[in-house]
Every structure is written in structure tokens, then in C-alpha cells.
Amino acid sequence: MAKFVPLQKNKHADKKWKPPVNFAFAAKEALIPIVGMEVAIAAVNMALVFVRHEGALQLAAISGPPQSADNFFVGRDGRWLGTYIPGILRAYPFRLTRLEGRDEMALCIASDAVGDEGQPLYDAATDDLAGPVRNNLNMLEMYEKSRLHTVHAAAALEQAGVLAEWPIKFKGPKGAEISATGLMRVDEKALSELDDATYLKLRKIGALPMAYAQIISMSRLGALAQLAQLRERLSAASRQQQPAQGKAPNLDFLRVEDGTLVF
């Protein structure tokens, strides 16, 4: 993604911004952060996984082979091919970021979204953030609260011993196998065998819905192969003036075999 800069009235009072025309900005995001407030809907649309980021466990959606920096949910033309769009992407080009060396959070914007054309960042009449920008800030503040709760819940699940490595293997068209490392899932057996006290603790902090959502979401991993297939077919069709005729392209390498995602 682009470089994010803090919004400052003395620098951006007369500047404008443009919403993204598509999701090309996320085309290389193979792991997309997911927070508790969206986990229920995300889990039925995307495979979720726990990953360690900056020393803390966070929840993320797998959108492609992590080592390839390729997001199968983004078409070659930038359109979003999935059903659910994660909140962090819907807020783009805005982001709530902790300022370096300080505890406070600041509303930031992708530097390439700022210019002299588009929608105003600040309202000249109120000398404050313009309405759409304020709406994004409000959403991002809720998102940040949910993110902190998600990190806390993930840490509790790890402490309870119910998280395990999730060894996902990806196989490319040439047969080369790539193992994705550092991914974790909920061990359903370990979760069911928790003592009452630990189970109750996880329930009280709201970690159980996240745990079960992650378990449910694992069935969506195989859909990545179908999504990659769809993306290539749409791309091929867009390169032709008319729909493809005759024999369909050979996309047999996009499938799931023995737990290995072949793309």
C-alpha cells in the first residue's frame, strides 16, 4: 500500500482527496487484518488465521499465498471478486495510526490520494474535518477498539494452549511447493478439552466467538483456488473483444489436493 501521512490542518486545509476507483491498492495483500466486530461475516467468506505482527497475535484473512504477495480477491482490473470487503480496506485511503514515539493515534491518509481535485478534507465553514472524512474517522476509531480487543482475545487463546501451527502448503503451476509458515489456527480438540475455569475466562473476554469463527472459516481455504480460477478467466475474457469460444483454458493446476492448495 501507499505511504500514509498524518492529516494536519496547517498542511491539508485546502487539499482534497479522491476515493479509490478500485482495489488495486490491495492487490499485493495476501494477509488482510480482521477484527472482532467483523469476524462473523468474514468467517463465512474468507479463511481466517492467527499471525504474529509486531510481537502480538492478530487475526487475518488469507487472500493468497503469503509468500507470493498476491491477493486473489483482487481481479487483474482491480475489481473486488469476493463477497465481503474487510473493514480496513473499506476505510482506504484513511488509516488510524500510532505516531512514532507517542501513544496517541492520528488519522492518516495515503499520500497519493491527496491533491487539488476531489472531495475536501476539511470543511471551510466549520474549520473541521469534512463530513465523509469524519465518518471514516469514527469508523476507524471503532475499528481500533475492536482491534485491541481482538489482540487481547488472541493472546488469551494462545495462553490457554488452544492455538496450533497451521501448515498450509501452496503448489504453483510448475509444481514448486511453498509452505506458508507462521500461521496459526484453533485446535478444536484442545478447545473442547479445556477445564471449566479456563473456558469461562475465555467466554467472559469474548474470545470464544472468535475461536469458533476461525474454525468455521477454515473451510473457505479451498475457495481460494476457485477465486484464482475466476480471476484468470475474467482476465482472459477482458483481453478479447468477444467472449472466449471453444475449449476452455486448462486450469487444472488450480485445485486442492491432499490439503495442499494448488494454484
Strands 163-165, 114-115: pairing is: unpaired
Domain boundaries, the chain: 4-235
d(CA 173, CA 229): 12
Task: Look up the pTM and report it.
Answer: 0.84
pLDDT single digits (tens) 2-20: 789 999 999 999 999 999 9
pLDDT single digits (tens) 41-88: 999 999 999 999 888 999 999 998 877 788 999 999 999 999 999 999
pLDDT single digits (tens) 35-45: 999 999 999 99
Using DSSP's 3-state secondary structure scheme, residue 118 falls into: coil
Helix (H) or strand (E) holding 146: helix 131-159
